[in-house]
Amino acid sequence: MVRDLRTKFCGIGLKNPVIPASGTFGFGLELADSFDLNVLGGISLKGTTLEPRFGNPTPRIAECEAGLLNSVGLQNPGVHALVNEKVPALRKLYGGCIIANISGFAVDEYRECCRIADACEGIDIIELNISCPNVHGGGMAFGTDARAAAEVTAAVRSVTHKPLVVKLSPNVSDIVAIARACEDAGADGLCLVNTFLGMRIDIKTRKPILANRTGGLSGPAIFPVAVRMVNQVAHACSIPVMGCGGVATAENVIEMMMAGASAVQVGSENLRNPFACKEIVEALPGVMEQLGIERISDITGCV
């Protein structure tokens, strides 16, 4: 039997639910010569700000059991390069859903950045990143306070008709409160979770491994927490949820969807295996067959 991998997110049809997560797949172009990107349900592009950013000093990567910490700090060429160069170049190669991940340091900056992204034809979804833990005075500061999250969501809502998805931080005590605030402020969907703020220390030098001292923890280590948060939010909100956090296998994709996700992002796994998303897509029909799943969209939120 043919297994149906198609799903929908915010009214947009996806050929499958597998999407490389923002920051773990560059602007899509980097791997375009290594495999056909069109196997992917969508691509979430690297977090972009109004102005170009160098990001944090190196080391920006630290390893840990079952995952890694990063403190890249939103290195990006700025939103003008995104809409004028990156997205048009990717659109030539890729027919699936292109998600622009927009970040910032102030409400006005988020609004302006999204206004520019809104005018870009190649972008299907705007993912509002209010959860980057590696920049100071912005990013996660909006994602850890319900009122600030609502304010930035509403500001961006007023300048875009594209589907607006807010990417949430797990570094909160009540993720449902933040999720509801974003929904009430006009978000069309939610993506969760971004990374957990963490730290590693080199015990020989007695110094933090990351030059930024702290960084965002991701990878299989966070998967169960992400599943729990997706499940809580999916039950509490009526807008669709994109599940993200430690997804590494086709089985993880199924689990995340059962928890309530309509589509699933794969992050850290790309860093150790650039072919991870392609391999997950290829493995899904077999896993669905074992589990007696005919249409993958049927399992969303069954738990």
Partner 1 sequence: MPSITKIRLEIISNLPVTHNCFRLELAGEGLPAVAPGQFVQLEVPGKFLRRPISVHDASPERIVLIYKTVGEGTKVLSQMVPGQSLEVLVPLGRGFDPGICGKHALLIGGGLGSAPLYSLAKSLLAAGKHVDVILGFNTAADVVLLDEYRALGTEPAVVTLDGSYGIKGVVTDAPIPEHDCFYTCGPLPMMCAVCRQLEGPGELSMEERMGCGAGFCYGCTIQTAGGPARVCADGPVFKKEDILW
- CA-wise closest residue to 148 among 105, 113, 189, 191: 105
Which positions are catalytic?
A: 132
Q: Is 294 in the site for partner 1 (CB under 8 A)?
A: no
Q: Is 103 in the site for partner 1 (CB under 8 A)?
A: no
- CA-wise closest residue to 90 among 120, 112, 132: 120
Q: Which stretch, 11-19, 55-63, 169-177, 258-266, contacts partner 1 (CB under 8 A)?
A: 55-63
Q: Which stretch, 79-87, 142-150, 178-186, 271-279, contacts partner 1 (CB under 8 A)?
A: 271-279
Binding mask 6-45 for partner 1 (x = CB under 8 A): -----------------xxxx--xxxxxx-----------
Q: Which stretch, 50-58, 160-168, 232-240, 249-257, contacts partner 1 (CB under 8 A)?
A: 50-58
Q: How many residues does the chain have?
A: 303
Q: Applying CB under 8 A, which of residues 36, 63, 289, 294 lies at the interface with partner 1?
A: 63
Q: Is 68 in the site for partner 1 (CB under 8 A)?
A: yes
Neighbours of 22 (CB within 10 A): 27
Which CB atom, from 33 or from 121, has the smaller least distance to partner 1?
Answer: 33
Instruction: Determine contact, residues 42/19, Cβ cutoff 8 Å.
Output: yes
Q: Applying CB under 8 A, which of residues 272, 286, 291, 294 lies at the interface with partner 1?
A: 272
DSSP conformation letters of 74-141? --B--HHHIIIIIHHHHHHH--SEEEEEE--SSHHHHHHHHHHHHT-TT--EEEEE---TTSTTSTHH
Q: Applying CB under 8 A, which of residues 13, 38, 58, 289 lies at the interface with partner 1?
A: 58
First to last CA, the chain: 25
The nearest distance, CB 277 to partner 1, in angstroms, is 12
Neighbours of 12 (CB within 10 A): 19
Which CB atom, from 68 or from 164, has the smaller least distance to partner 1?
Answer: 68
Neighbours of 209 (CB within 10 A): 18
Q: How many residues bind partner 1 (CB under 8 A)?
A: 35
Amino acid at 155: A
Residues that bind partner 1 (CB under 8 A): 23-26, 29-34, 46, 54-55, 58-68, 70, 72, 75, 219, 268, 270-275
